[in-house]
């Protein structure tokens, strides 16, 4: 958090930003400003204030000379507005003629404040100046970025770090964040406001990116303080997605510094995920672990599916990180990351097997969680667990229908789900994307037995069910990271036939790759940032991208590989 804050401070302008932040800091320290920052000639003093110095407990006059960036030999004494001429003017003009008579008897502390640091070859000049000009009632201090971060962290309320137009939204976010049902609406509005402006200058682009990262860092820290990391985890998804959308809309992908800043944001999102996992991972290996946190079976079921998606997203983020590290890091680092992904996949397998509701999807949109979880299991070589889970799902589809005439709701509707559970309504068994997904993953796993088990399930129990699969179209890339991209968009293949011969189905998939699969041209896919596709699907409740498993089917046909990693 401190590192993010220091990076943000370094981008503040001297006029209107850095000096305003220092003024707010002084007020938080109960040091009262007696002159506000203003443009034009100020006789060396940017901010004057009176209050108790926390260093020695004495009342003093504080005179601030505010400068931007590092204090170098050039900014020390090269121009009229350099630091040394400003300090001389404080002594020669401001104190004798501008300082109110009420304060002239007080000790004076002259502070050079900057959002950088003092470079080594200026330190001797600074020391000599301070030694030559210090008196019994006049002392000097230097506040660089490190000192400012220390003081801000100690004295200033979090929202005061932000421009005025953002403060209210951040304040509301932090006020409501510990409420169980809070949907982070104020935080999302804050992000949208920050990212509503398209910048062209490097400094302004970086400032918005770092302000976004600071927002997430504050939410993360607040979540740690209240011992509930879930809000930070959900916030990290939206933050990464909206940042990606902003970069895409403003055509910043080719700028290396933009890529680097986005990667830092991704790293923070990954850190939040790992901390969340480390906190709760023991629950994944306990039978009915989420039941104790649920009021009834429906809540237990829905909580289990949500947690499955979260866990899969954390694991897929580790896979993403492994791929990045493999290109630049030594083997010991990449192996450590992959072991982390394996551990998460093991936990996911245990979670699936220990929580029976994960065999009984309530909504057809739970295809999102199934797709992500199977993707993680396949990419970490957990073929046996993936196969066993699909088999359990097939059996559960059969049993649920035979006993209760139940089936996953094709349209997500909680009230209808409750009525069905209470026996006040019945489910309409019409369409399914889940069964199509399971059939195609059976092919990815190269299990003909599983493929035919699913085929028999449909043939015997659900002959009239319309099997469907959703495909992206080129235009979807424009809003993939900003909203539910599959709602009324894309194209839907329906009336899918599960052929008796598995090779016939595989051949059809192979032929459809060029016809329907368009996301391989999307920026997130070409850049190898696959986690964007997974997060967009989970976060916005949009259909998963078929390329993640259909490409594996195509590769099995092209190369005959048994274990495919995408």
Residues 304-314 pLDDT 10s:
999 999 999 99
Q: What's residue 203's pLDDT? A: 86
Tokens of 84: 């040394």
Does 261 have pLDDT greater than 60? yes
Q: What's residue 566's pLDDT? A: 37
- DSSP conformation class of 111: E
Does 437 have pLDDT greater than 80? yes
Tokens of 70: 């590092």
Q: What's residue 560's pLDDT? A: 57
Cβ neighbours around 40 below 10 Å, total: 4
Tokens of 537: 């699907």
Distance CA 104, CA 204 (A): 41
Q: What's residue 1's pLDDT? A: 58
Q: What's residue 11's pLDDT? A: 74
Q: What is the pLDDT of residues 485-544, one digit of tens each?
A: 998 899 999 999 999 999 999 999 999 998 999 999 999 999 999 999 999 999 999 999
Tokens of 412: 């997500």
CA distances from 273 to 230, 260, 536 (A): 9, 20, 16
Does 39 have pLDDT greater than 80? no
- Confidence bin at 16 (pLDDT 50/70/90): low
CA-wise closest residue to 268 among 536, 560, 511, 1: 1
- DSSP conformation class of 452: H
CA-wise closest residue to 349 among 395, 304, 384, 397: 384
Rounded to two decimals, the pTM is 0.82
For 24, how many CA atoms within 13 A lie in the half-sphere containing its CB? 20
Mean of the pLDDT values across residues 146-175?
A: 84
CA-wise closest residue to 70 among 10, 151, 16: 10
Task: List Cβ neighbours of 258 (8 Å cut-off, separation of 6 or more).
Answer: 205, 209, 247, 252
The CATH number corresponding to 2-156 among 3.30.200, 3.30.70, 1.10.150, 3.40.91 equals 3.40.91
- Confidence bin at 44 (pLDDT 50/70/90): confident
Distance CA 516, CA 509 (A): 10
- DSSP conformation class of 180: T
Please report where in the chains the tokens 């390329």 appear, as a residue.
Answer: 547
Higher-confidence position of 158 and 64: 64
Distance CA 488, CA 129 (A): 69
Task: List Cβ neighbours of 414 (8 Å cut-off, separation of 6 or more).
Answer: none
Cβ neighbours around 106 below 10 Å, total: 15
- Confidence bin at 331 (pLDDT 50/70/90): very high
Does 563 have pLDDT greater than 50? no
Reduced to 3 states (helix: H, G, I; strand: E, B; else coil), residue 10 is: coil
pLDDT mean across residues, the chain: 91
Q: What's residue 31's pLDDT? A: 94
- Confidence bin at 420 (pLDDT 50/70/90): very high
Does 61 have pLDDT greater than 70? yes
Mean of the pLDDT values across residues 183-187?
A: 96
Winning range, highest mean pLDDT, from 187-196, 220-229, 321-330: 187-196
Does 562 have pLDDT greater than 60? no
Tokens of 521: 């041209």
Distance CA 441, CA 389 (A): 11
Does 561 have pLDDT greater than 60? no
Does 354 have pLDDT greater than 80? yes
Q: What stretch(es) of the chain map to CATH 3.40.91?
A: 2-156
Tokens of 304: 């289990």
Q: What's residue 49's pLDDT? A: 95
Q: Phi first, then psi: what are they for 52, rounded to 5°? A: -85, 125
Distance CA 183, CA 173 (A): 10
CA-wise closest residue to 341 among 305, 313, 310: 313
Does 345 have pLDDT greater than 70? yes
Q: What is the pLDDT of residues 486-497, one digit of tens each?
A: 988 999 999 999
Does 300 have pLDDT greater than 70? yes
For 306, how many CA atoms within 13 A lie in the half-sphere containing its CB? 13
């Amino acid at each position: 958090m401190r590192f993010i804050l220091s990076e943000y401070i370094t981008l503040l302008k001297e006029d209107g930003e850095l000096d305003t932040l220092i003024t707010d800091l002084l007020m938080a320290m109960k040091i009262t400003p007696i002159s506000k920052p203003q443009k034009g000639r100020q006789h060396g003093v940017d901010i004057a204030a009176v209050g108790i110095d926390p260093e020695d407990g004495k009342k003093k006059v504080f005179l601030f000379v505010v400068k931007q960036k590092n204090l170098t030999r050039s900014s020390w004494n090269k121009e009229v507005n350099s630091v040394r001429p400003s300090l001389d003017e404080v002594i020669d003009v401001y104190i004798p003629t501008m300082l109110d008579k009420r304060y002239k008897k007080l000790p004076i502390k002259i502070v050079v404040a900057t959002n950088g640091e003092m470079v080594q070859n200026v330190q001797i000049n600074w020391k000599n100046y301070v030694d030559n000009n210090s008196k019994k009632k006049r002392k000097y201090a230097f506040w660089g970025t490190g000192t400012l971060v220390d003081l801000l962290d100690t004295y200033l309320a979090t929202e005061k770090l932000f421009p005025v137009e953002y403060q209210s939204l951040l304040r509301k976010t932090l006020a409501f964040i510990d409420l169980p049902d809070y949907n982070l609406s104020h935080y999302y509005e804050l992000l949208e406001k920050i990212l509503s402006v398209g910048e062209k200058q490097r400094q302004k682009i970086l400032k918005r990116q770092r302000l976004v990262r600071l927002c997430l860092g504050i939410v993360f820290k607040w979540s740690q303080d209240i011992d509930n990391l879930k809000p930070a985890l959900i916030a990290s998804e939206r933050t990464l997605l909206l940042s990606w959308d902003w970069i895409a809309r403003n055509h910043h992908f080719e700028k290396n510094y933009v890529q680097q800043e986005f990667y830092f944001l991704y790293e923070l999102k990954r850190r939040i995920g790992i901390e969340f996992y480390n906190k709760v991972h023991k629950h994944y290996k306990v039978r009915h672990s989420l039941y104790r946190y649920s009021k009834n079976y429906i809540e237990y079921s829905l909580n289990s599916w949500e947690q499955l998606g979260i866990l899969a997203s954390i694991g897929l983020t580790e896979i993403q990180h492994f791929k990045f590290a493999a290109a630049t890091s030594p083997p010991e680092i990449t192996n450590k990351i992959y072991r982390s992904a394996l551990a998460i996949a093991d936990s996911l397998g245990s979670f699936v097997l220990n929580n029976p509701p994960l065999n009984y999807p309530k909504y057809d949109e739970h295809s999102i969680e199934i797709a992500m979880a199977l993707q993680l299991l396949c990419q970490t070589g957990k073929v046996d667990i993936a196969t066993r889970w699909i088999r359990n799902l097939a059996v559960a589809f059969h049993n649920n229908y035979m006993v209760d005439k139940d089936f996953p709701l094709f349209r997500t509707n909680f009230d209808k789900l409750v009525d069905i559970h209470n026996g006040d309504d019945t489910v309409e068994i019409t369409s399914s994307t889940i069964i199509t997904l399971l059939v195609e993953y059976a092919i990815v796993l190269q299990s003909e037995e599983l493929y035919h088990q699913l085929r028999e399930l449909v043939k015997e129990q659900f002959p009239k069910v319309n099997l469907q699969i959703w495909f992206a179209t080129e235009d979807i890339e424009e809003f993939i990271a900003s909203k539910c991209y599959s709602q009324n968009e894309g194209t839907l293949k329906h009336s899918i036939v599960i052929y008796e011969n598995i090779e016939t189905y595989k051949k059809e998939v192979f032929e459809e790759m060029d016809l329907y699969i368009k996301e391989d041209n999307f920026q997130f896919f070409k850049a190898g940032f696959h986690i964007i596709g997974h997060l967009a699907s989970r976060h916005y409740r949009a259909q998963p991208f078929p390329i993640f498993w259909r490409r594996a089917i195509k590769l099995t046909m092209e190369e005959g590989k048994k274990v495919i990693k995408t």
